[in-house]
């Protein structure tokens, strides 16, 4: 599957930068392009300068709202971010048009932090404009939710996240949800944490995108999971995860044995990878709420049997009894077995409930505060009406 990735705002741009690095890795390891174009869009020029992989020209690092913000961002005011995205949408569309092999892409992935200003405000607007301009290609959103300490200390964070989630869900074909808090390491520096989290966010997409683009016959799966399968598996709120397990080696060669212990170890490795994928899902959810699910098993060809795929499939079916499930296999080099897992069309997500409930109450409180502030200012103006002015 080939994606056009558009990162909006500081958070979205940095995650998009990791997707660009993922594309470089696919070219090096598999000789395939999985992303014809990766773009970063921002109202802050400094944030765009901090990227390392996305091409540094103005067609890939796109500064919008320069006249209104002076290149210094929107200060977490997502309404302003949305306005600027509407005004400067042509810059983004022009950049997309100039992308080599643009029409070979299968879908768009628009990435943003849900709690910021530029990304939070522009993701729904950009998604809607892209869907209007390119109705034959799905437009997916990847929204990164804020840390718990941000929610506690900044009311605007929760408000922005709720507005962003509601707006984006109404226009995007599917919304991948990523909870930052699930990836954080308490003893690591902020810079190291963010860098590691961004890598963990994009990693589950790697095998899913590469599997359908593979060119070497020996690495093409018996049941290939291609763009069509992925597109049919994505709708609404979506969680994604990936798990790994080592597979048995004898010397430098993989070998298949008829010993029942080897069969048991093979199945155990597969289920261990599924268990890790569940624990590393991008958002906490109940798989029983999923209407669609997908899993891809990747391992050396000799270490993947029909029995292994059946065991994994049976477990996923038990986890998500109401879902339409698609699956595939991806033979590859290396000593690891991995399982990429997606639960989509989720009917209930606890974090979203919390955001909506908090913001519904907060909207009333903010309105009351605003009215109180205006009343106090009006009172001060009345008191100073008869005082002379030097202006």
Read off the pLDDT of residues 113-147 as tens digits, 9 standing for 90 and up: 999 899 999 999 999 999 999 999 999 999 999 98
Domains located in the chain, CATH noted: 3-202 (3.40.50.1440), 237-344 (3.30.1330.20)
pLDDT of residue 317: 95
Residue 251 has pLDDT above 50, yes or no: no
Question: What is Dmax (Cα atoms) for the chain?
Answer: 99
Within 10 angstroms of residue 169's Cβ, the number of other Cβ atoms is 16
Q: What is the mean pLDDT of the chain?
A: 88
**In the block, which residue shows the tokens 């009351």?**
368
> Is the pTM value of this prediction over 0.85?
yes
Cα separation, 77 vs 123, in Å, equals: 14
Cα radius of gyration (the chain): 24
Secondary structure string (H, E, C) spanning 195-206: HHHHHHHHCCHH
pLDDT of residue 264: 65
Within 10 angstroms of residue 370's Cβ, the number of other Cβ atoms is 10
DSSP 292: E
Cα separation, 341 vs 338, in Å, equals: 10
Query: C-alpha angle 53/228/1, rounded to 5°?
Result: 15
Q: What is the pLDDT of residues 152-182, one digit of tens each?
A: 887 788 989 999 999 999 999 999 999 988 8
**In the block, which residue shows the tokens 């212990």?**
261
Cα separation, 345 vs 293, in Å, equals: 8
Contact assessment for residue 212 and residue 107, using Cβ atoms and an 8 Å cutoff: no
127 token code pair: 């998604």
Helices (H), the chain: 9-30, 45-49, 66-69, 78-87, 89-97, 118-133, 148-153, 155-169, 190-202, 205-211, 227-233, 260-279, 306-319, 350-383
Cα separation, 111 vs 355, in Å, equals: 19
- Percentage of the chain with pLDDT > 70? 91
Contact assessment for residue 43 and residue 73, using Cβ atoms and an 8 Å cutoff: yes
- Mutual orientation of helices 78-87 and 118-133 as an angle, nearest 10°? 30
pLDDT of residue 126: 96
Contact assessment for residue 318 and residue 208, using Cβ atoms and an 8 Å cutoff: no
pLDDT of residue 250: 45
pLDDT of residue 8: 96
Secondary structure (3-state) at 8: strand
The closest alpha carbon to 143, from 302, 337, 351, belongs to 351
pLDDT band for 188, please (50, 70, 90 cuts). Answer: low
Cα separation, 237 vs 226, in Å, equals: 21
**DSSP per-residue string spanning 136-148:** TS-EEEEEEEPPH
Q: What mean pLDDT is predicted for residues 99-125?
A: 93
**In the block, which residue shows the tokens 């795929």?**
309
pLDDT of residue 192: 67
Q: What is the pLDDT of residues 193-206, one digit of tens each?
A: 788 889 999 999 99
Residue 360 has pLDDT above 90, yes or no: no
């Amino acid at each position: 599957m080939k994606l056009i990735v558009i990162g909006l705002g500081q958070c979205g741009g940095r995650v998009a930068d990791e997707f660009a690095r993922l594309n470089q890795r696919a070219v090096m390891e598999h000789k395939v392009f999985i992303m014809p174009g990766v773009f970063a869009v921002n109202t802050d020029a400094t944030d765009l300068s901090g990227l390392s992989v996305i091409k540094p020209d103005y067609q890939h690092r796109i500064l919008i709202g320069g006249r209104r913000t002076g290149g210094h961002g929107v200060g977490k005011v997502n309404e302003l971010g949305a306005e600027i995205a509407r005004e400067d949408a042509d810059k983004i569309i022009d950049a997309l048009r100039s992308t080599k092999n643009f029409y070979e892409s299968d879908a768009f992935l628009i990435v943003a932090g849900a709690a910021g200003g530029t990304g939070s405000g522009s993701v729904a607007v950009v998604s809607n404009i892209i869907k209007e301009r390119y109705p034959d290609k799905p437009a997916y959103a990847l929204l990164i939710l804020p840390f718990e300490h941000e929610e506690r200390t900044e009311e605007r964070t929760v408000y922005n996240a709720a507005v962003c989630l509601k707006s984006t869900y109404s226009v995007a074909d599917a919304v991948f949800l990523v909870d930052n808090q699930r990836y954080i390491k308490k003893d690591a520096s902020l810079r190291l944490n963010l860098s590691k989290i961004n890598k963990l966010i994009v990693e589950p997409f790697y095998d899913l995108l590469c599997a359908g683009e593979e060119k070497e016959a020996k690495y093409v799966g018996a049941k290939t999971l291609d763009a069509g399968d992925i597109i049919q598996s994505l709708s609404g709120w979506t969680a994604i995860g990936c798990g790994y397990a080592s597979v048995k080696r004898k010397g430098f060669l993989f070998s298949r044995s008829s010993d029942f212990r080897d069969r048991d170890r093979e199945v155990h490795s597969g289920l261990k990878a599924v268990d890790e994928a569940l624990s590393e899902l991008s958002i906490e959810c109940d798989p029983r709420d999923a209407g669609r699910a997908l899993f891809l098993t990747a391992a050396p060809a000799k270490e993947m049997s029909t029995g292994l795929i059946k065991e994994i499939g049976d477990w996923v079916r038990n986890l998500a009894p109401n879902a339409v499930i698609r699956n595939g296999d991806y033979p590859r080099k290396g000593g690891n077995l991995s399982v990429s897992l997606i639960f989509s069309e989720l009917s209930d997500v606890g974090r979203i409930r919390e955001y909506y409930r908090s913001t519904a109450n907060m909207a009333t409180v903010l309105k009351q505060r605003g009215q109180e502030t205006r009343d106090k200012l009006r009172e001060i103006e009345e008191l100073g009406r008869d005082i002379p002015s030097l202006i």
